[in-house]
Structure 1
Amino acid sequence: MSRKLRLQVKEITLDMAGSMRLIAKRCFPFATQVIDRFHVQKLAIEALQEIRIKHRWEAIDQENERIIECKSTGNPLLLESFENGDTRKQLLARSRYLLYKSREKWSETQRQRAQILFSQYPDLEKAYFITDRLRKIYNQDITKSVAMTKLAHWFKEVEEVDFKSFNTLTKTVMNHYRDILNYFDNRSTNASAESFNAKIKNFRLQLRGVKDRTFFLFRLSKLFA
């Protein structure tokens, strides 16, 4: 793309990588930079999953200790199970995907599992609520000023629960605050580019690497153009 055309670009969506910001600034100096909502929400979900994983490792340790104890005493191994049939370790492992979804999209099985999970781990329920609150802010058709107010309330909720992973998330959001808020001007997203990039990665994985780059690009153009 010629410099004349690049100077006409008004908005560009990108992730939070510093290298991407520098490239965007150099190639599109007059464009407003927008942090894609996908990358912000992904960080929030990863912070939530980190808490779940921590509890899962604790459950695995407890089960291993129980097995060792039963072997040493010769008693039969009786593992704790909940009303849906999950053991504690299974409950934490199988709850992974329901934590990605909003409550409205849970199946009946996931709803029952979530109820058990949150009764056993109240901190996970609080973390899920915070993650869901961020999702709902993005889903609302609001102006930048309203979004700024709602994010301020969200920051306060994160401070109150004081989870380490979420405190790291808020620091990251604050470092990119202006570009994140720019999303609410036109609600621009690079979801289509991310989807296409995922297709390319999957195609490359099937080929087990690329030796002839020219032929690889030719095949891409024939398959996806």
Structure 2
Amino acid sequence: MGTKTSQDWILYPENLSESLSLDEVALSDGELYSVLTSKKAKGRKGSIVAIVKGTQSDFVIEHLLKIGRRLRMKVKEITLDMVGSMKRIAKRCFPCASQVIDRFHVQKLAIEALQEIRIKYRWEAIEMENNAIEKASKEKTSLKIETFENGDSRKQLLARSRYLLYKSREKWTLSQRQRASILFTQYPDLEKAYRLTDDLRKIYNQHITKSVAMTKLAHWFRNVEEEDFKSFSTLRKTILQHYRDILNYFDKRSTNAAAESFNAKIKNFRMQLRGVKDRTFFLFRLANLFA
């Protein structure tokens, strides 16, 4: 099986395996490439199946179809994110493959929904402090900024809580536990939103069957409806639109971790070269290392 290359794409059909990952990565100046990798190679040599310039589905499909149909029909599973173009590429080129929405993309959306609520409160705190400064200046009085028992001002509390909200409670440091206690006392909505995010993470972390996952997600949906946060309601609708492919994760617990690891290696390689000036040569170097 011969390797096929061009300035805008490279194909290594011989690296095709039953389980693939489809993702996108920026090579230079934010220019995206669609990257298809084999999980079997675990991010090492033999990983690259295809790298195609852009994410436009028709262009990517055109080049992936250069891989023989018999080989493409052997693919049983492909992990990807929720982008419509990626799903269309997978369906058209690998019709026998089960599509699995990567769990980390779903969890990332949940964290972003939580952080959106924190950021809203932070802007309110910034505005409150600005008003206090302005008032003190006009009235020529000393400025008194509210501080909590850990020394944080309200603005600092909300800014410094960013990282603890990414983590589960058991991973908090002592200072993060104290900060979280203050934060949730001052902003009960943030505690409710954090609980929703953490509950979704726990569903993924449990070794459960697809049917059990369906039941647990149904309970999670009900909790989202009860709390009525706009960002989480949007997340709930997004999950429902991709429900079947999200649930496919619980069959084999497959993720896009190998693809993300490979993308990290590309970024590190790009950094070592101090940028990509010649994309054709860069793809050639990548192929030598990982194909």
- Structure 2 residue ranges without an equivalent (≥5): 1-12, 14-67
Distance 1:23 1:120 in 2: 47
* Equivalence map 1:33-44=2 (5 Å): 33-44=99-110
| Residue in structure 1 matched with residue 84 of structure 2 by the alignment | 18
Figure out how many residues of one structure are paired with residues of the other and give that number.
225
Alignment of structure 1 residues 74-223 onto 2, 5 Å: 74-204=140-270, 207=273, 209-220=275-286
* 3-state SS of 1:84 partner: coil
For residues 197-218 of structure 1, what are the alpha-carbon distances to aligned partners after superposition, in whole Å with 9 as ceiling and x for unaligned? 1332354356564231232134
Pair 214,113 (structure 1): closer, same or farther in 2 beyond 3 Å: same
Does 2:111 align with 1:45? yes
Superposed CA offset, 1:92-144 (max 9, x none): 00000000000010000111100000000000000000000000000000000
Query: How big is each residue's C-alpha offset from its partner over 1:69-96, in whole Å with a ceiling of 9 and x where there is no partner?
Result: 0000111111000000000000000000
Write the distance in 2 (CA, Å) between the matches of 1:224 and 1:34: 24
Structure 1 stretches lacking a partner, 5+ long = none
Tell me the SS of whatever aligns to 1:30.
coil
Partner Cα separation in structure 2 for residue 18 and residue 224 of structure 1? 27
In structure 2, what is the Cα distance between the partners aligned to 1:219 and 1:8? 29
Q: What TM-score do you get using the length of structure 1 for normalisation?
A: 0.95
Give structure 1 regions of 4+ aligned residues with deviation exceeding 4 angstroms.
Answer: 205-209, 221-225
Q: Residues 76 and 207 (structure 1 numbering): CA distance in 2 closer, same or farther, change over 3 Å?
A: farther
Q: Which has the higher strand share?
A: 2
Written as runs of structure 1 = structure 2, the 5 A alignment for 1:56-71 is 56-71=122-137
- Quote the residue 2:45 is aligned against: none
The range that moved more, 210-219 or 182-191, is: 210-219
Cα separation, 2, equivalents of 1:15 and 1:98: 25
Which residue of structure 1 aligns with residue 7 of structure 2? none
Residue identity over aligned pairs, in percent, reads 78
Cα distance between partner residues in 2 of 1:189 and 1:167: 25
Q: Comparing both structures, which one devotes a greater share of its residues to helix?
A: 1
Between the aligned partners of 2:161 and 2:290, the Cα distance in structure 1 is 35
Is 1:6 aligned with 2:72? yes
CA offsets, 1:24-70, max 9 Å, x none? 01111110001010100000000000000000000000000000000
Output the aligned Cα RMSD: 1.6
SS, match of residue 198 in structure 2: helix
**Residues in 1 aligned to 2:72 and 2:219: alpha-carbon distance in whole angstroms:** 38
Alignment partners' CA distance in 2, 1:94 and 1:221: 42
TM-score (norm 2): 0.74
CA displacement at 1:192 relative to structure 2: 1.6
Give SS of 1:49's match.
helix
Which amino acid is the alignment partner of residue 35 of structure 1?
A: I
